[in-house]
Protein backbone atom coordinates (compact mmCIF):
# COMPACT_ATOMS: atom_id res chain seq x y z
CA UNK A 1 0.00 0.00 0.00
CA UNK A 2 2.83 2.39 0.87
CA UNK A 3 4.42 1.75 -2.53
CA UNK A 4 1.16 2.57 -4.29
CA UNK A 5 0.84 5.87 -2.39
CA UNK A 6 4.47 6.75 -3.12
CA UNK A 7 4.11 5.97 -6.83
CA UNK A 8 0.90 8.03 -6.99
CA UNK A 9 2.62 11.00 -5.35
CA UNK A 10 5.56 10.78 -7.74
CA UNK A 11 3.26 10.64 -10.78
CA UNK A 12 1.13 13.52 -9.49
CA UNK A 13 4.23 15.60 -8.74
CA UNK A 14 5.70 14.94 -12.18
CA UNK A 15 2.41 15.81 -13.88
CA UNK A 16 2.12 19.11 -11.96
CA UNK A 17 5.73 20.03 -12.71
CA UNK A 18 5.44 19.25 -16.43
CA UNK A 19 2.22 21.28 -16.85
CA UNK A 20 3.90 24.46 -15.60
CA UNK A 21 6.93 23.98 -17.85
CA UNK A 22 5.33 24.26 -21.29
CA UNK A 23 7.28 27.40 -22.08
CA UNK A 24 11.04 27.54 -22.40
CA UNK A 25 11.83 30.60 -20.27
CA UNK A 26 15.06 32.40 -21.06
CA UNK A 27 17.25 34.55 -18.86
CA UNK A 28 17.33 38.25 -19.71
CA UNK A 29 20.61 38.11 -21.65
CA UNK A 30 19.68 34.93 -23.55
CA UNK A 31 16.24 36.27 -24.42
CA UNK A 32 17.44 39.74 -25.40
CA UNK A 33 20.03 38.30 -27.78
CA UNK A 34 17.57 35.78 -29.24
CA UNK A 35 14.85 38.43 -29.71
CA UNK A 36 17.25 40.59 -31.71
CA UNK A 37 18.45 37.64 -33.76
CA UNK A 38 14.93 36.35 -34.54
CA UNK A 39 13.35 39.82 -34.72
CA UNK A 40 10.67 38.90 -32.17
CA UNK A 41 9.21 40.79 -29.22
CA UNK A 42 10.19 39.83 -25.70
CA UNK A 43 7.52 38.73 -23.26
CA UNK A 44 9.13 39.63 -19.92
CA UNK A 45 7.55 37.97 -16.87
CA UNK A 46 8.66 39.69 -13.65
CA UNK A 47 7.94 37.42 -10.70
CA UNK A 48 9.17 36.18 -7.33
CA UNK A 49 9.27 32.68 -5.88
CA UNK A 50 7.24 33.75 -2.83
CA UNK A 51 4.47 35.45 -4.85
CA UNK A 52 1.30 33.34 -4.98
CA UNK A 53 -0.24 35.38 -7.81
CA UNK A 54 2.99 34.86 -9.79
CA UNK A 55 2.74 31.10 -9.29
CA UNK A 56 -0.89 31.10 -10.41
CA UNK A 57 -0.05 33.22 -13.47
CA UNK A 58 2.79 30.86 -14.36
CA UNK A 59 0.72 27.70 -13.89
CA UNK A 60 -2.77 28.70 -15.06
CA UNK A 61 -2.05 31.33 -17.70
CA UNK A 62 1.42 30.62 -19.06
CA UNK A 63 0.81 26.89 -18.49
CA UNK A 64 -2.25 27.02 -20.76
CA UNK A 65 -1.47 25.18 -24.02
CA UNK A 66 -2.94 27.87 -26.28
CA UNK A 67 -1.19 30.73 -24.48
CA UNK A 68 2.11 28.82 -24.46
CA UNK A 69 1.69 28.09 -28.18
CA UNK A 70 1.12 31.75 -29.07
CA UNK A 71 4.11 32.83 -27.00
CA UNK A 72 6.44 30.11 -28.30
CA UNK A 73 5.60 30.93 -31.92
CA UNK A 74 5.64 34.73 -31.73
CA UNK A 75 7.57 35.93 -28.65
CA UNK A 76 10.74 35.27 -26.72
CA UNK A 77 9.67 34.41 -23.15
CA UNK A 78 11.99 35.85 -20.50
CA UNK A 79 11.55 35.27 -16.79
CA UNK A 80 12.96 37.81 -14.34
CA UNK A 81 13.01 36.71 -10.69
CA UNK A 82 13.22 39.73 -8.38
CA UNK A 83 14.85 37.62 -5.65
CA UNK A 84 17.79 36.71 -7.89
CA UNK A 85 18.03 39.08 -10.84
CA UNK A 86 17.51 42.30 -8.90
CA UNK A 87 20.62 41.60 -6.80
CA UNK A 88 22.94 40.90 -9.76
CA UNK A 89 25.55 43.64 -10.15
CA UNK A 90 26.37 42.85 -13.79
CA UNK A 91 25.93 40.32 -16.55
CA UNK A 92 22.84 41.74 -18.25
CA UNK A 93 23.07 43.05 -21.79
CA UNK A 94 21.01 46.01 -22.98
CA UNK A 95 21.72 48.01 -26.13
CA UNK A 96 25.27 46.71 -26.27
CA UNK A 97 26.05 47.60 -22.66
CA UNK A 98 26.65 45.39 -19.65
CA UNK A 99 24.25 46.51 -16.92
CA UNK A 100 22.95 45.27 -13.56
CA UNK A 101 19.76 43.34 -12.96
CA UNK A 102 18.32 46.38 -11.21
CA UNK A 103 18.98 48.57 -14.26
CA UNK A 104 17.14 46.07 -16.48
CA UNK A 105 14.11 46.11 -14.20
CA UNK A 106 14.01 49.92 -13.96
CA UNK A 107 13.73 50.14 -17.75
CA UNK A 108 10.45 48.21 -17.67
CA UNK A 109 8.70 49.34 -14.49
CA UNK A 110 5.52 51.30 -15.06
CA UNK A 111 5.86 54.46 -12.98
CA UNK A 112 9.10 53.17 -11.44
CA UNK A 113 7.08 51.15 -8.92
CA UNK A 114 7.52 47.39 -8.61
CA UNK A 115 4.24 45.49 -8.42
CA UNK A 116 4.37 41.81 -9.23
CA UNK A 117 3.42 39.86 -11.15
CA UNK A 118 4.24 42.07 -14.08
CA UNK A 119 4.35 41.09 -17.74
CA UNK A 120 5.89 43.42 -20.30
CA UNK A 121 5.80 42.93 -24.07
CA UNK A 122 8.56 44.84 -25.80
CA UNK A 123 10.44 44.78 -29.10
CA UNK A 124 14.17 45.44 -28.61
CA UNK A 125 15.03 48.90 -29.90
CA UNK A 126 11.47 50.16 -29.53
CA UNK A 127 10.30 52.78 -27.04
CA UNK A 128 6.80 51.26 -26.92
CA UNK A 129 5.92 48.53 -24.45
CA UNK A 130 2.75 46.86 -23.24
CA UNK A 131 2.57 46.42 -19.46
CA UNK A 132 0.22 43.91 -17.88
CA UNK A 133 0.09 44.08 -14.10
CA UNK A 134 -1.37 41.45 -11.83
CA UNK A 135 -3.04 38.15 -12.46
CA UNK A 136 -4.55 37.70 -15.93
CA UNK A 137 -6.45 34.56 -16.93
CA UNK A 138 -5.63 32.56 -20.06
CA UNK A 139 -8.49 33.95 -22.17
CA UNK A 140 -7.54 37.56 -21.45
CA UNK A 141 -3.86 36.82 -22.06
CA UNK A 142 -4.66 35.27 -25.45
CA UNK A 143 -6.55 38.45 -26.41
CA UNK A 144 -3.70 40.69 -25.25
CA UNK A 145 -1.08 38.64 -27.11
CA UNK A 146 -3.11 38.56 -30.32
CA UNK A 147 -3.69 42.34 -30.12
CA UNK A 148 0.05 42.88 -29.73
CA UNK A 149 0.73 40.76 -32.79
CA UNK A 150 -1.55 43.00 -34.87
CA UNK A 151 0.37 46.15 -33.86
d(CA 132, CA 101): 20
Q: Which fold has domain 2-150?
A: Glutaredoxin (3.40.30)
Largest CA distance in the chain: 60
Least confident of 5-19, 47-61, 81-95: 5-19
Each residue of 17-71: pLDDT tens digit? 444 448 999 999 899 999 999 999 999 999 999 999 999 999 999 999 999 999 9
d(CA 135, CA 85): 21
Domain ranges of the chain: 2-150
pLDDT of residue 3: 53
DSSP 40-66: --EEEEEE-TT-HHHHHIIIIITTSHH
Is the predicted pLDDT of residue 148 greater than 90, yes or no?
Answer: yes
Least confident of 22-36, 107-121, 128-142: 107-121
pLDDT band at 1; cut points 50, 70, 90: low
pLDDT of residue 108: 84
CB 85 within 8 A of CB 100: no
**Cis ω on the peptide bond leading into residue 25 (within 30° of 0)?**
no
Amino acid sequence: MKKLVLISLIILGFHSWSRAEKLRWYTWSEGYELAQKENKPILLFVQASWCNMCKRLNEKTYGNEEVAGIITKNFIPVKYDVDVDLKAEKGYTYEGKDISGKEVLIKFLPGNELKIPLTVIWIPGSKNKKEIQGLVDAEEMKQILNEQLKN
